[in-house]
Amino acid sequence: MFDPYRRRLLQAALVAAVLRPGSGRAGGTDAAGAWMGADDLSLHYRVPARQWEDALPLGNGRLGAMAWGGTTRERLQLNDDTLFAGGPYEAINPDARDALPKVRALVFEGRYAEAERLANETMMSRPLRMMPYQSPGEAWIDFDGMGGIHGYERRLDLDTAIASCRFNAGDARHERESFVSPVDDCLVVRHLCDAAQGLSGFVSLAADLGHETTASGAELLLVGHNDGRHGIDGALRYAIRLRLEASGGTLRAADGRLRFEGASGLLLRVAVATSFRGPRDVGGDPVAITRDTLDASQRRGFDAMREAHLDAHRALFRRVSLDLGRTAAAERSTDQRITRFATEDDPALAALYYQYGRYLLISSSRPGTQPANLQGIWNDLQDPPWGSKWTLNINAEMNYWPAEAGALPECVEPLERMIAELARSGARTAREMYGAPGWVVHHNTDLWRQTGPIDGARFGLWPMGGAWLLRHLWDRWDYSRDPEVLRRIYPLFKGAIDFYRAFLVEDPATGELVTSPSLSPENAHPHGSSICAGPAMDAQLLRDLFGQCARASRLLDVDPGLAGELEALAARLPRDRIGAAGQLQEWREDWDLQAPEPHHRHVSHLYAVYPGDAINRRDTPRLAAAARRSLELRGDDATGWGVGWRINLWARLGDGERAHRVLAMLLSHARSYPNLFDAHPPFQIDGNFGGAAGILEMIVQDWGGTVFLLPALPSQWTRGRLRGMRLRGAAGLDIEWADGRLAWVELGSERGGEWRLDHRGRTRRVVLPAGGRIRLRPAGDGALVEA
């Protein structure tokens, strides 16, 4: 039963303890403004949300909510990560296999526009579009007589994953906190008022999709169904179940809503579920699931639910801490800090942005859920931009750039599971479209795990999505060095290899093995098309994939001879080329400066700089210089995620000042909404994750068998401390610097091994046993010595 929350307990809570017990950090006082600026792990505001991009995101990987922090009306927009339009479907085009050699012939003849027209007629998926992510609905709390509002404050605490607001309505003090529990799998909202019988109003549910709502006792139940799209009927059912408890007042059902009167506190629990069980199974019972979820949560009191939520969230979030220093700018509201970041010294906002990226990943991608999609899990539309699905030519991959180094390997589990599902559906696409073994996926997928080319040949005829996705599974092994991980993922690598060995074709003019037809993602070349053979990114991806699979086969002692075969194939792939302007070429031909969009948002040909590492300043300085020239020609201004990618690229090229300048572009009101969501525009979450990864790259880089310390530190971050970063080889790293110079670094090994640490060009070899640690400091000449 709901705790009555007597007045004296609430008064004690208002001192600040109720919102942040046991946080382990300095809390605020009740003085004006102290709650707002109490720490550097909170987003805070002086007004409620006015639009969706002002609201604060909550999530447990599966269930998402956007909390508006309203006064007379609170709005809680909901998401379930499995609510997509349509149902299980097939999209294979039966004409594709016969058309493939004809399209290839046109490409090799240089008749690119004709090749694109033929591909559009014969090789694209049917339907040509995939299914969009949808929103099940919203919960509303409408309060009677809430006037005379003053003293308003709102915040999202990243350390607790709790959104809170507090304000005065006349003489009454109100506090509300909301969280989505990863333990109890529901949204929890508590609203307290220190005026006896001070709360009256209604609680209701609403939805844009077809639905019916019933109210009974203290419960609302909305049962709905998804939409059909592109000729595919909707096949999912879903349910939203809300239970309300009111302390010190009355509660009844009225006109499809719940009416509360004369209460001093409210407690809402909201569960959401769909009938989705898998890409081919929609037989679940969301009504029963939501009932069982709330029955289980109701057996636990609010305090127990809150503590379990805190423990589960902090077990992930508190693994990494980052301090970049603090100035008076941190006392301002978050929206004001965004507006001023480019012209004001506010290093704490960069640190907050990094931790916000980790928070968003924890909240949108947990074991057992769907991977973070184009908007994580937060979407209020039934036809969101680009379907808010998974775009595999950069965006879905960028979502996971901060995961491994940011000590969140568990958050990659949904991506691994999706790749395994794509391998199954992609085997049919490979067989029927290309006449090839193995599996393939193009530039998009949806909940139903479609793998064919969509959106037209100019965008979709790119068969490299699987090669890029597999890099993240390689990182899963490389950071953990767990043999079981390598054994589990190896068949996925082998299946992709089987496809590419069959798909690669010899260019009759050069003898190179090329992908054809393909394209450099979303960018057109100067011959009226994007279709081409062997663009730079494809060869870079395949060199990585072949090398990873060769190493895995040797480590596992399987498939004798495969490693040598892959190394021979890699040697025949097109080499990276430098054009007449000194740039790294995007295509085999020197087309870059004649392309219709010279400042295109994608920089696909720089994959080998980041997230790859085959092109770097140490081993390939000439190619690295050409990559820099490409970045200069392409320009820094791009969409939100494009800016995020550029931060990482400038950091890899060792230019911390340029990287920070681009970060300032990302952390501006043009590229970040008031709630720090990335503004593509519109909202896409990949920019948040790309920006978070780039901030870390400026401090520590781990590639090519070496850990580089402060390789691109900007002058704005004169002092700082990073703790808990993960390294390749199953290790962890802490680092501190002052006056722009390294103070000390500490390395800890999980499994034992050898690492090379680079500081200002001086390398220190470190060998540690399992569980071993070592602390090093720089000597006068920059060499690392034991501290």
Q: Check residue 758 and give its pLDDT.
A: 98
Residues 379 and 407 both lie in one domain: yes
Q: Check residue 39 and give its pLDDT.
A: 72
Question: What span, in angstroms and rounded, lies between the C-alpha atoms of 674 and 222?
Answer: 31
pTM summary value: 0.95
Contacts of 449 (CB under 8 A, 6+ apart): 279, 418, 421, 422, 424, 425
Determine how β-strand 187-193 pairs with β-strand 73-80: unpaired
Question: What span, in angstroms and rounded, lies between the C-alpha atoms of 489 and 478?
Answer: 12
Residues 313 and 446 both lie in one domain: no
The one-letter amino acid code at 252 reads: R
Residues 202 and 75 both lie in one domain: yes
Residues 276 and 400 both lie in one domain: no
Residue-wise pLDDT tens digits, 224-266: 999 999 999 999 999 999 999 999 999 999 999 999 999 999 9
Q: Which of 552, 573, 589 is the last residue of a domain?
A: 589
Residues 480 and 578 both lie in one domain: yes
Angle at 629 between CA 624 and CA 631, to 5 degrees: 95
Residues 275 and 419 both lie in one domain: no
Q: Which of 318, 335, 357 is the last residue of a domain?
A: 318
Closest C-alpha among 309, 60, 111 to residue 103 = 111
Is 472 contained in some domain?
Answer: yes
Read off the pLDDT band of 30 (50, 70, 90): very low
Residue-wise pLDDT tens digits, 559-601: 999 999 999 999 999 999 999 999 999 999 999 999 999 999 9
Q: Check residue 544 and give its pLDDT.
A: 98
Range of the domain at 752: 720-786
Q: In what order do the strands lie in the sheet with 56-59?
A: 56-59, 63-67, 73-80, 137-143, 199-206, 257-263, 250-254
Is the pLDDT at 515 greater than 50? The verdict is: yes
Residues 281 and 204 both lie in one domain: yes
Is the pLDDT at 494 greater than 90? The verdict is: yes
Per-residue exposure over 41-68, b if at least 16 CB sit within 10 Å of its own CB, e if not: bbbbbeebbeebbbbbbbbbbbbbbbbb
Q: Would you mind telling me the total number of residues written for the chain in this entry?
A: 787
Q: Which of 524, 555, 589 is the last residue of a domain?
A: 589
Question: What are the phi and psi torsion angles at 650 (to 5°)?
Answer: -65, -35
Residue-wise pLDDT tens digits, 78-98: 999 999 999 999 999 999 999
* Average of per-residue pLDDT across 495-499: 98
Residue-wise pLDDT tens digits, 112-155: 999 999 999 999 999 999 999 999 999 999 999 898 999 999 99
Q: Check residue 3 and give its pLDDT.
A: 34
More confident residue, 20 or 226: 226
Residues 439 and 488 both lie in one domain: yes
Is 143 contained in some domain?
Answer: yes
Residues 501 and 372 both lie in one domain: yes
DSSP string over 507-564: -TTT--EE-SSB-STT--BTTTBS-BSS-HHHHHHHHHHHHHHHHHHHHHT-STTHHH
Residues 171 and 205 both lie in one domain: yes
Is 600 contained in some domain?
Answer: no
Residue-wise pLDDT tens digits, 353-365: 999 999 999 999 9
Q: Check residue 654 and give its pLDDT.
A: 98
Is 335 contained in some domain?
Answer: no
Domains identified in the chain, total number: 3
More confident residue, 3 or 646: 646
- What does pLDDT average to over the chain? 94
- Whether residue 321 contacts residue 724, with contact meaning beta carbons closer than 8 Å, is answered with yes
Contacts of 65 (CB under 8 A, 6+ apart): 57, 58, 59, 76, 77, 78, 79, 178, 180, 187, 270
Residue-wise pLDDT tens digits, 101-116: 999 999 999 999 999 9
Residue-wise pLDDT tens digits, 434-474: 999 999 999 999 999 999 999 999 999 999 999 999 999 99
Is 620 contained in some domain?
Answer: no
Residue-wise pLDDT tens digits, 265-300: 999 999 999 999 999 999 999 999 999 999 999 998
Is 615 contained in some domain?
Answer: no
* Average of per-residue pLDDT across 170-196: 97
* Average of per-residue pLDDT across 470-494: 98
More confident residue, 5 or 70: 70
Domain of 458: which CATH number? 1.50.10.10
Residues 313 and 290 both lie in one domain: yes
Catalogue the E-assigned strands of 136-196. 137-143, 149-157, 162-169, 172-180, 187-193
Closest C-alpha among 81, 94, 58 to residue 446 = 81
Q: Which residue has 């000194």 as its token pair?
A: 582
442: number of Cβ within 10 Å: 27
- Whether residue 440 contacts residue 430, with contact meaning beta carbons closer than 8 Å, is answered with yes
582: number of Cβ within 10 Å: 13
Q: What is the DSSP letter of 185?
A: -
Is the pLDDT at 18 greater than 60? The verdict is: no
Share of the chain above pLDDT 90, in %: 94
Is 712 contained in some domain?
Answer: no
Residues 193 and 164 both lie in one domain: yes
Is the pLDDT at 492 greater than 80? The verdict is: yes
Domain of 27: which CATH number? 2.70.98.50
Residue-wise pLDDT tens digits, 356-406: 999 999 999 999 999 999 999 999 999 999 999 999 999 999 999 999 999
Among the listed ranges 12-26, 155-169, 718-732, which one has the minimum average pLDDT value?
Answer: 12-26
Q: Is 137 helix (H, G, I), strand (E, B) or coil?
A: strand
Q: Check residue 1 and give its pLDDT.
A: 32
Q: Check residue 35 and give its pLDDT.
A: 42
Question: What span, in angstroms and rounded, lies between the C-alpha atoms of 644 and 668?
Answer: 13
* Average of per-residue pLDDT across 653-670: 96
Q: What is the chain's percent helix, strand, coil content, to nearest 5?
A: 35, 25, 40
Q: Is 741 helix (H, G, I), strand (E, B) or coil?
A: strand
The one-letter amino acid code at 424 reads: R
* Average of per-residue pLDDT across 158-166: 98
Query: Which runs of consecutive H residues, i.e. helices, occur in 392-534?
Result: 395-398, 413-434, 457-460, 465-480, 483-503
* Average of per-residue pLDDT across 701-714: 98
Is the pLDDT at 500 greater than 80? The verdict is: yes
Is 326 contained in some domain?
Answer: no
Question: What span, in angstroms and rounded, lies between the C-alpha atoms of 108 and 593?
Answer: 22
